[in-house]
Amino acid sequence: MDELIASVAQSLGLEPAIAQQAIGAVLRFLQENAPAEAGVLLEKLIGAQDAIAAAPDAGGGGLMGALGGLMGGGGMGGLMGLAGQLQDLGLGMGDIQGLAQNIFTKGNELIGEEQMKQIASAIPGLDQYI
C-alpha cells in the first residue's frame, strides 16, 4: 500500500494522506459494488482495509454526490457519488482518472489483468475511468 500511496501522491501531486484517503474511497467503492470480484484484490493489497478506514465518509460528495444519489447507489450513480467524494478531497476529473489507472495498474501486478477486467466489468461505467 505504501508504494501505491507514494505513486499516487507523486503522479497526482497530492499529499500522501490525501492519496491514502482517495485510494481508500475507491477501494471501499469496489468492495461495496463488486464484492466478489474485488475480494481477491483487497486481500492481496496489504493495508487496503486501513486505507478504506481512512477514507472520508461515503456521504456528501457535493454536486456529483447529489447527482449520484439521485441515480441510485450502484453503477453510474455510485461512480458519480465516488467522484464527488474524490472532488471533495481536491481531485479533478483528470486526477480521478489517474488515480483509477494507478490502482488498476497495481491490481494488475497483484492479481492479474483478467481479474482486474472482471472488477471493471462488474461496475457499469467504470471502464471510462481506467
For residue range 8-61, what is the model confidence (pLDDT) as tens digits? 999 999 999 999 999 999 999 999 999 999 999 999 999 999 999 999 887 544
pLDDT at residue 83 tops 90: yes
Q: Which domain holds residue 34?
A: 2-122
Question: Do 99 and 26 form a contact (C-beta atoms < 8 A)?
Answer: yes
Q: Is the pTM of this model over 0.75?
A: yes
Q: How far is CA 11 from CA 16, 52, 60, in A?
A: 11, 21, 26
103-123 average pLDDT score: 95
pLDDT at residue 6 tops 70: yes
Cα-trace Rg, the chain: 13
Residue 127 lies in a domain: no
* Rounded distance between C-alpha atoms, residue 40 and residue 11, angstroms: 26
Residue 86 lies in a domain: yes
Number of domains composing the chain: 1
77: confidence class by pLDDT, cuts 50, 70, 90 = low
Residue 128 lies in a domain: no
Question: Do 127 and 120 form a contact (C-beta atoms < 8 A)?
Answer: yes
Predicted local distance difference test score (pLDDT) of residue 73: 46
Residue 130 lies in a domain: no
